[in-house]
Structure 1
Amino acid sequence: MSVEQTRITTPFDAESTAAEVIDGIDLTGRRAIVTGAASGIGVETARALAGAGAEVTLAVRDAQAGERTAQDITETTGNKQLSVRRLDLSDQGSVAAFVGAWDGPLDILINNAGVMMTPELRTPEGWELQFATNHLGHFALTTGLHDALVLGDRARVVSLTSIGHQRGGLDFDDLHFRERPYDPVVAYGQSKTATALFAVEASRRWAGEGITVNAVHPGAVLETGLSRHMSKEALDHAVQNGGYTFKTREQGASTSVLVATWPALEGIGGRYFEDCNEALPFTPDRFGGVAPHALDPEAAARLWQVSLDTLGRPQG
C-alpha cells in the first residue's frame, strides 16, 4: 500500500458472511464466473452472487459436482440462471476451450480455484503444478477473457491469494523448482505472491478500460478440500501457534463477494484485502497483513511478461 493511498475499511469483519456483505445489492443482469465453484468457499461465493440475481457460471473440473452444486444453489436462491462449464486450470488446452466458448460480456470474474502444498507435481509442459494452476491458469483465463470484461459493466476481477505469500517473493531464476530443492510450502507461497502481483499489474493495465482487479485472502477455512495435503499435525500447529482462527465457508467467501460487489469499491484496484477490509502492511508482531513484495509494481510487471513468455503469448 503506497503512502498516498487511504486504507479502505468497511462495516464488515472476519466474522461477516457472504450473505451479509451482499445484502441489499442487486446484481440482476450481471454475468459472473466463479472458478472452483463446486466445493468449499467457491460454492458459497457462487450462492451469494446468484442470491443477488446474477447469472453465474460455475467453472469446475468435475462437471457432475458442478451440476449438483448448481441445483443446490437454484433450490436455495430461486435463481435458475446458473450454468456449469468444465475448466482445469492446470491444462492450458482446457483454459483455451473455456475462453473460446465464452460469448458476450462478463461483469464479475472470481479466480477462486487453487491447489495447496501439493507433492512435487508437474504439468506436461514441466511447470510446477501450484504455480501453473494458481497463477498461470488464472492468468491465461483472465487475459483470455479481457475483451469480455471490457464489454462488461464496470467489470471486477477478484484474484484469491493467501497469507502464505508472506513466505517470500518470486524466484524469477527458478520459478518451477528445476534447480532448487522442491518445497511445497515455498512453492505454494510463491504461487500466492504471484496471484497478488497479478492484481497489481492487471489493474494498472486495465483500469482505463473500466476493469478493476484486486487480491483477496479469504482466511483459513477447514471445510474445503484445499488443505487435504496438510497433515493433522500441521493444521493443529497452525491453530495453536500460527494465530489462525478458522472460518466457516460462508465467512471465507465474504471478502471475495464484498470486493466483487460492494458499491463503495467502485474504481478501486490493485489492492489486497482480508477479513473484508484492505489489509494492513505485514509486521512480525501482528498476524496477517500484506508483505511489500506482494504489491511491488516492478515485480508485478516482470511477472506479467514472464507469464506471457511462458505461455507463448505475443509480447505486451
Structure 2
Amino acid sequence: MTRNTTGNTRVTTPFTAGSTAAEVIEGVDLRGRRAVVTGGASGIGVETARALAAAGAEVTIAVRDLGAGKRVADDLALATGNARVRVAPLDLIDQASVAAFTATWEGPLHILVNNAGVMASPEARTPEGWESQFATNHLGHFALAAGLRPALAAAGGARVVSVSSSAHLRSPVVFDDIQFRERPYDPWLAYGQSKTANVLFAVEAGRRWAGDGIVVNALMPGAIPTNLQRHVTEEELQRMRAQMGGDGPAWKTPEQGAATSVLLAASPLVEGVTGRYFEDCQEAEPHRPGTRRGVAEYALDPEAATLLWQVSADLLDL
C-alpha cells in the first residue's frame, strides 16, 4: 500500500491491467463460500463467475435469459469441475423480479458481484417513470443488495462488488433531475450518472454496513468489447477506440476485464478494504483532467453518497 494525495493509504497490488481473473485468484480457496454474479451469462460476468467457481465457490448466475444462463452454468461446471454453478432469474429493471430473487435466497451469501448493466441505451422509462439506465444499473442493484443484506451479514466478512466505469467521469448524479424530466435526454450522460451512482453506493454501503462485517467497493473493469455495447454504433466505437491512446484505457479481453472484480470479490490482498474505487487491480488515483483514468471527486463525496442512498430508498419505498 502507498499514500495517495489525500493522505489516506492507497491500496496497490502486484497485478496490472494485463492480469487475468485466473491469475488474480490463483491460490485462493473459496470452498464453502457462496457467490452471486448478476449478468453472469455474458461478457466479464462469465469470466467473473468462472474464476469464482474455479476457486471452489458455489456460484449463482443471476440473469434475465434463463436459457443462456443455463448453458453458461453447464459450460462453467464442466470447465471448472465445480458442479455448484447455478442459475436464477433476475431482471434488474423489474422491482418485482428483484424482490422475488431476494425473497427466495436462503442461507448466507459471501460474495455479491453487481455486474449486469446497460450502456448508452435509447431513452426509455420503467412503469414507475424512472430513466432506464439509472433504474437498471443503480436502483436494481441497490434493491438487490439491500434485500440480500441479511444473507451478507450472516456470512461474516462478506464482500459486495459494484461494477462501475470510467464513464462516471462524464457526469455526477444530478439530483435536481435524475430522471431527465427537465433536461434533454443524453444516453452517455445518463450512463455516466448511473456509473457514478455505482461508486456512491459503495461509499455509503461501506459505511452503513461496516458493523455487519460487509465490505463494499466499486471498480472500472476496463474497455472490453462485449454485448454491453449493443446500443453503441460502430462509428461511435471507432471514435472511442481513437480516443484510447496515451493515458486512456486500452482494450482488454473479458478475462482481463474480470480481474479487478475478482480481486475485490475474493483476494486476501484487499481484506477489510471498503468504500473505494479500483481500476487495473489498483485503487484509483484522483482523476486528472484530460485523461479517462482515475476517480472523480464527486463520486467519492460522502454527502452525495448519503443523499443518493436516501433518494434511492425513497424511490424504492424501502
TM-score (norm 1): 0.97
SS of residue matched to 1:307? helix
* Pick aligned residue for 1:205 from 193, 198, 208: 208
User: Per the alignment, in what secondary structure is the counterpart of residue 9 of structure 2?
Assistant: coil
CA distance in 1 between counterparts of 2:122 and 2:250 reads: 26
1: distance between equivalents of 2:219 and 2:173? 19
Distance in 2, Cα, partners of 1:37 & 1:286: 30
1:3-32, CA deviations, whole angstroms, 9 ceiling, x for partnerless residues?
241111100010000000000000000000
Please state if 1:97 is matched with 2:105: no
In the aligned structure 1, how far is the partner of 2:26 from the partner of 2:309?
36
Q: Tell me what 2:240 maps to.
A: 238
Partner of 2:35: 32
- Note if contact 2:169-2:292 (Cα within 8 Å) is conserved in structure 1: no
- Aligned partner of 1:71 among 64, 74, 77: 74
How far 1:47 sits from its partner (Å)? 0.4
Partner of 2:303: 298
The alignment status of 1:277 with 2:282, answered yes or no, reads yes
Q: 1:257 matched to which residue of 2?
A: 262
SS in 1 for 2:237: helix
**1:228 counterpart residue number:** 230
d(CA) in 1 for partners of 2:243, 2:143:
37
Structure 1 position 132 matched with structure 2 position 127: no
Matches within 5 A, 1:103-114: 103-114=106-117
Which among 55, 70, 74 is matched to residue 52 of structure 1?
55
In 2, distance between residues paired with 1:162 and 1:168?
A: 11
Aligned AA (1:267) = G
Is the deviation greater in 294-303 or in 284-293? 284-293
Counterpart amino acid of residue 56 in structure 2: G
Mapped to 2, the partners of 1:2 and 1:52 lie a distance apart of 35
Residue 308 of structure 1, aligned match among 296, 309, 313: 313
Which whole-Å CA distance do the structure 2 matches of 1:97 and 1:53 have between them? 27
Superposed CA offset, 1:12-71 (max 9, x none): 010000000000000000000000000000000000000000000000000000000001
C-alpha deviations, 1:285-307, integer Å up to 9, x for none?
Answer: 44411000110000000000000
Contact 2:156 2:212 in 1 (8 A): no
Give the distance between the partners of 1:272 and 1:282, measured in 2 at CA. 11
Aligned mates of 1:296, 1:44 — CA distance in 2: 31
TM-score (norm 2): 0.96
Contact 2:93 2:126 (8 Å CA) reproduced: yes
Letter in 2 for 1:266: E
- In the alignment, is residue 216 of structure 1 matched against residue 219 of structure 2? yes
Match of 1:154 among 153, 157, 160: 157
TM-superposed CA distance for 1:208, in Å, is 1.8
Q: Tell whether the 8 Å contact from 2:249 to 2:293 is kept in structure 1 after alignment.
A: no
User: How far apart are 1:264 and its partner, in Å?
Assistant: 2.2
CA distance in 2, matches of 1:50, 1:11: 23
Unaligned runs of 5+ in 2: none
Asked whether the 8 Å contact 1:238–1:244 carries over to 2, the reply is no
Question: 2: distance between equivalents of 1:193 and 1:285?
Answer: 18
Deviation for aligned residue 1:83: 1.1
Taking only the aligned residue pairs, the percentage that are identical comes to 63
For residue 2 of structure 1, report the CA deviation from its aligned partner.
7.4
Give the match for residue 180 of structure 2.
Answer: 177
Residues 38 and 114 in structure 2, CA contact (< 8 A), matched pair in contact too: yes
Q: Which amino acid aligns with 1:250?
A: E
CA shift, 1:240, in A, is: 1.2
Cα 1:153–1:2 change in 2 (3 A) is: farther
Alignment of 1:88 onto 2:99: no
Q: Secondary structure at the match of 1:300?
A: helix
Secondary structure at the aligned position of 1:173 is classed as helix
In structure 2, C-alpha distance between the alignment counterparts of 1:312 and 1:107, rounded to whole Å: 26
2:273 maps to 1:268: yes
Asked if 2 retains the 8 angstrom alpha-carbon contact of 1:168 and 1:293, the reply is no
Residues 162 and 218, structure 1, Cα contact 8 Å, conserved in 2 = yes
Structure 1 CA distance for aligned equivalents of residues 224 and 231 of structure 2? 14
